[in-house]
Chains A and B, each alone.
Chain A
Amino acid sequence: MNVKQTLDTKGLSCPMPIVKTKKAMDGLASGGILEVLATDKGAVNDLSAWSKSSGHELLDHKEEDGVFKFYIQKG
């Protein structure tokens, strides 16, 4: 996967992960992939919902050592 940019939101709570993700996404070109790191327990549901209603595609997400990793492709 060709990740264009990584955004670290570890330690941040709602609504910071989605607000920061939005800002980072604004800077990407269509088709670009953003990697988001988060520790907020609501992040899986929140970033899925955010991607869906903002017109982006959540390609994959996984958890490693308590850190969630998301790969979102700009729509």
Chain B
Amino acid sequence: MEQTQDKSTMVVFSGDLDKAMASFIIATGAAAMGKQVTMFFTFWGLNILRKEEYVNVKKTFMDKMFAKMMPRGPEKLGISKMNYGGLGGKMMKYTMKKKNIVTLKELIEMAQDLDVKMVACTMSMDVMGITKDELIDGLDYAGVASYLADADESKINLFI
């Protein structure tokens, strides 16, 4: 079989449910087309990778505040438009369920199953006070050089 192993790279900056879904749909789709996919999670995008349960880690006051205010994992994210304090997000999830659309949580599991490389930006983790213990398993940890090296070899490179 003549399958070209080209790469796709994506920066996931947003922590909005709709944008996160778009990222993971493209990532799983690209992986299904035989591409080697790297998703680089930075700033608000890190919240997508947070564990749902509370993890007890020693933090500064500021970091604690940050951790409290930000959504913990895929089920808690809001949507980028018409969120109305979470109501819009709930409506969106309700209608997606009715129409049998795959959830973000399932998409993440599928991406891992398809060997999509997920990288957490360590600098953003520092800024937002997020530790490795609070993020899901199976992630890589790196910085801008690692992303750029992957992006250099990619035909598709997105910032979401």
Q: Which residues of A contact B (CB under 8 A)?
A: 11-16, 18-19, 21-22, 30, 50, 53-56, 74-75
Check if B2 is an interface residue, CB within 8 A of chain A: yes
Check if B136 is an interface residue, CB within 8 A of chain A: no
- The DSSP consensus for interface residues of chain B is loop
* CA A56 to CA B114, docked complex, whole Å: 19
Q: Which residues of B contact A (CB under 8 A)?
A: 1-3, 25, 28-29, 31-34, 99-102, 110, 114
A18 touches B33 (CB 8 A): yes
Chain A positions within 8 Å of B2 at CB level: 55, 75
**CB-based nearest A residue for B25:** A15
**Contact for B101 among A13, A19, A55, CB less than 8 A:** A13
- The DSSP consensus for interface residues of chain A is loop
A28 to chain B: closest CB distance in Å? 11
Given contacts A12-B100, A19-B110, A19-B114, contact A74 B33 (CB under 8 A): no
A21 touches B32 (CB 8 A): yes
Total inter-chain residue pairs, C-beta < 8 Å: 44
The 8 closest A-B pairs by CB, nearest first: A22-B32, A15-B29, A19-B32, A18-B32, A55-B2, A75-B1, A55-B3, A15-B25
B100 touches A50 (CB 8 A): no
Sampled A-B contacts (14; CB under 8 Å): A12-B100, A13-B101, A15-B32, A18-B29, A18-B32, A19-B114, A22-B34, A30-B1, A50-B32, A53-B33, A55-B2, A55-B3, A75-B1, A75-B2
**CB-based nearest A residue for B3:** A55
Chain A positions within 8 Å of B34 at CB level: 22, 53-55
**CB-based nearest A residue for B28:** A15
Chain B positions within 8 Å of A56 at CB level: 1
Chain B positions within 8 Å of A18 at CB level: 29, 32-33
**Contact for A13 among B1, B3, B32, B99, CB less than 8 A:** B99
**CB-based nearest B residue for A51:** B33
A27 to chain B: closest CB distance in Å? 14
A42 to chain B: closest CB distance in Å? 11
B87 to chain A: closest CB distance in Å? 24
